[in-house]
Amino acid sequence: MKLDREQVLRSAAALLSRKSTATMDEVARAAGIGRATLHRHFAGRDALVKALENLGLQEFEAALDAARLDEGASEEGLRRLIAAVEPSAGLMSFLVTENQLFEGEVDEGWNRADARVAAFFRRGQERGEFRIDLTPAWLTEALYGLIGTAAWSVQTGRVAAQDFQHMIVELLLGGARRSVER
């Protein structure tokens, strides 16, 4: 039987997002495999976390491509991005909430993704669609935080999965939308 590496990584992310101190034994149990099998594929916790980061980056970049952020109104681009991110939200939640695991490491891929999201928010500001008193970098971090929190809330049953996109978009836009004063 061939090991489904991606499923193992998703199981690990789901467990580690709830319990960051989980042991490799617990990760193996959550993935439905033995500890020895887990170690054959991931030499240790650092290798597992690096594989999670690589998968997360790959999926986030695919979501950015699918969202076509350069097309149409910023609000619609944001809605497309959240919809594209939703299938990998559990993994994103782990990466957002546990970013200290990558201490001192700067990954060119994440820098590239961050730059794309910040550029999206900057364009929205230039078009008058987003507030200009919040930096694109802050809006990017807020988006990541909302994705992570919404995924965790769905995972723990605190909110319905069907509300994932609505919760993120409406909260972010409610705070990011530029008000026209009369």
Residue 126: predicted pLDDT: 96
Confidence at residue 93, expressed as pLDDT on a 0 to 100 scale: 80
Q: Which pLDDT score is estimated for 155?
A: 83
> pTM to 2 decimals?
0.84
Sequence spans of domains, the chain = 54-176
| C-beta neighbour count of 67 within 10 angstroms | 22
What number of H helices and E strands is found in the chain?
9, 0
CATH number of 54-176: 1.10.357.10
Spatial contact of 79 and 135, defined as CB atoms under 8 Å apart: no
Could you read off the pLDDT tens digit of each residue along the chain, which spans 182 residues?
567 888 899 889 888 877 878 899 999 999 999 999 999 999 998 899 889 988 888 999 999 999 999 999 999 999 999 999 999 888 888 777 666 555 555 578 888 999 999 999 999 999 999 999 999 999 999 999 999 889 888 888 999 999 999 999 999 988 766 666 65
CB atoms within 10 A of CB 43: 10
Q: Where do we find the tokens 């959240």?
A: 82
pLDDT at 120 (0 to 100): 98
Phi, then psi, of 156 in degrees rounded to 5: -85, 0
Looking at residue 71, its pLDDT comes to 95
